[in-house]
Amino acid sequence: MAPKRPKGAGAFPKPVESPAPKTPDPSELYAALDLGTNSCRMLIAQPKGSQFHVVDSFSKSVQLGSGLEKTGRLSRGSMRRTIQALRICQQKLKRHRVKHMRLVATEACRRAKNAKDFIKQVRRETGLPLEIIPAEEEARLAVISCAPLVSTKTEQLLVVDIGGGSTELVWIDLSNVPAQERPRSIMRMRGGLNAADTPFPAARVVDWISVPLGVATLRDQFNDVEDDAARFALMSWFFEENLKDFAPYADEQARDGFQIVGTSGTVTTVAASHLGLRRYDRTKVDGLRMTSEQIDAVINDYLRLGPAGRRQDPRIGQDRHALIMSGSAILQALLRCWPTDRLSVADRGLREGLLYAQMSADGVLEDGPF
């Protein structure tokens, strides 16, 4: 499947995921659900100032895209697992009496032949209005959620969202934007990734792409390769091959002034491994900066451990060990093309962007300082 280059974007304030101080008014609550190829995740939040407080959350590995590479269809088992998870989400939404919500599905449902039937089944069995969003929407929301991590020293920015079924890359040129305005300039991109409704110097999108390879789909491509190191090398090479149509691919990029912001379970797991965290701590991971050499050291450690060692490694976790090498192959391919001293780890993504899009549209966020 050829990579897709979509067209839209927007930007909103940064998230604060601390508990709400008191029981919120249900009319003030917003929900965002992200049903991906591997996971089902939801946030329920209350706007507060220019940010928000999380009231409730849910996350479950459902493996909706299991077998999709071979059959082109969502399997009965994966749909059953997913609907069970969505019932829990429906119960939470009902308990909090949430009225404002956006519940979306991404790459697995974009590709599956029976996706429309699945969406109807979800509505029939849970009452949830699930919608399939295009790759352009997914990339736009990734940029929104990661913008607060952009450094004022950054002139060239690559935002990477490694999902279960696809990987979105957005390259942004900030060199003509005053240093202090660079994070804010991304937030001002209201008219789309290639437009800015502002009189201020604007961030310029050089190119962006949606590669139909994520941690689950890339792993499935090479399941028949038995040797662990060979499988990893093939996955990394194959992903890089799919970047050839991405405009900055052939350009040599100086490390000075270049930043990658990565959002995904892969990036946060690599960061947790680098820090030696036996128990995941978002406050230590979100916003952490790593060099290409530090990331390579973690990946080489994963390879030394082998499949059995990774299964037992508490830094990786039981829900991530089967996908960590395909995600690491994607990450290594990116760093081979564009080495950096500043890869910022983002424990945030589509759900946060969905929340801000709703809150901004309803005018419930204050226009406070960034």
**70: closest CA among 220, 196, 172?**
220
Q: Which of 155, 174, 168 is nearest to 208 (CA)?
A: 168
Distance between CA atoms of residues 53 and 105, nearest Å? 24
CA angle 150, 154, 155 (to 5 degrees): 130
Summarised one tens digit per residue, pLDDT across range 255-305 is 788 999 999 889 999 999 999 998 889 889 999 999 999 999 999 999 999
Q: Please name every residue paired with 105 in a beta bridge, in sequence order, or none if there are none.
A: 35, 132
pLDDT at 192: 56
Cβ–Cβ < 8 Å for 5, 209: yes
- pLDDT exceeds 90 at position 17: no
Cα separation, 316 vs 321, whole angstroms: 6
User: How confident is the model over 103-147, as pLDDT tens digits?
Assistant: 999 989 999 999 999 999 999 999 999 999 998 888 888 887 887
Judged by average pLDDT, the poorest of 12-16, 114-118, 210-214, 247-251 is 12-16
pLDDT greater than 90 at residue 358: no
* Other beta carbons less than 10 A from residue 252's beta carbon: 7
Whether the pLDDT of residue 13 is over 50: the answer is no
Query: Nearest CA to 323 among 39, 128, 77, 5?
Result: 39
Contact predicate 355/144, CB 8 Å = no
How far apart, in Å, are the Cα atoms of 277 and each of 286, 291, 322, 341, 348? 13, 18, 19, 22, 19
Q: How far, in Å, CA of 278 to CA of 213, rounded?
A: 29
Q: What is the pLDDT of residue 252?
A: 67
Sequence-separated (6 or more) residues with CB below 8 Å from residue 348:
15, 145, 146, 263, 286
Q: Which residue has the tokens 């110097």?
A: 201
Region 235-248: mean pLDDT is 92
CB distance 134 to 350 below 8 Å? no
